[in-house]
Amino acid sequence: MTPDPTSPTAAYVPPAPEARARLLDSIRFDLRGLVPAIAQQHDSGEVLMLAWMNRDSVEETLATGRACYFSRSRNRLWRKGETSGQVQRLVDLRVDCDGDTLLLLVDQT
């Protein structure tokens, strides 16, 4: 999704509409419309968090290049960093082999 995912200054390039649609179709959301998402720091491998995403949050993340999750307690989208200041810039989004878990490689600042 970026020209060089290892570069901390690489500009995020959103996937083409067809690729985005294929990616979204490959995700198996649960009965609540959610999928677990693990956020991992792209350069160190540090696991930052486990969160949940719905289709809208995945779409927003892919469109903007900034991690957006779904807050189950508040029942709304949660844009990482809007209150904490710890923004997660998307480097890559991967779907596991079963399609029921996401891995977001991010640069958290």
Residue-level pLDDT at 12: 86
pLDDT confidence bin for 11, thresholds 50/70/90 = confident
Please report the sign of the dihedral spanned by the C-alpha atoms of residue 54, residue 73, residue 96, residue 107.
positive
Query: For residue 22, how many other CB atoms are within 10 A of its CB?
Result: 11
Structural domain contains residue 12: no
Structural domain contains residue 94: yes
Domain count, the chain: 1
Residue 19 predicted with pLDDT over 90: yes
Structural domain contains residue 56: yes
Q: What is the CATH number of the domain that holds 104?
A: 3.10.20.810
Greatest CA separation for the chain: 38
Percent of the chain with pLDDT over 70: 91
Contact 52, 37 (CB under 8 A): yes
For residues 20 and 10, what is the distance between their CA atoms, to the nearest angstrom?
Answer: 20
For residue 28, the enclosing domain spans 17-108
Average pLDDT over residues 66-71: 98
Structural domain contains residue 6: no
Structural domain contains residue 100: yes
Is 5 or 96 the better-scoring residue by pLDDT? 96
Q: What share of the chain is helix, strand, coil (3-state, %, to 5)?
A: 20, 35, 45
Contacts of 97 (CB under 8 A, 6+ apart): none
Structural domain contains residue 1: no
Structural domain contains residue 24: yes
pTM of the model: 0.87
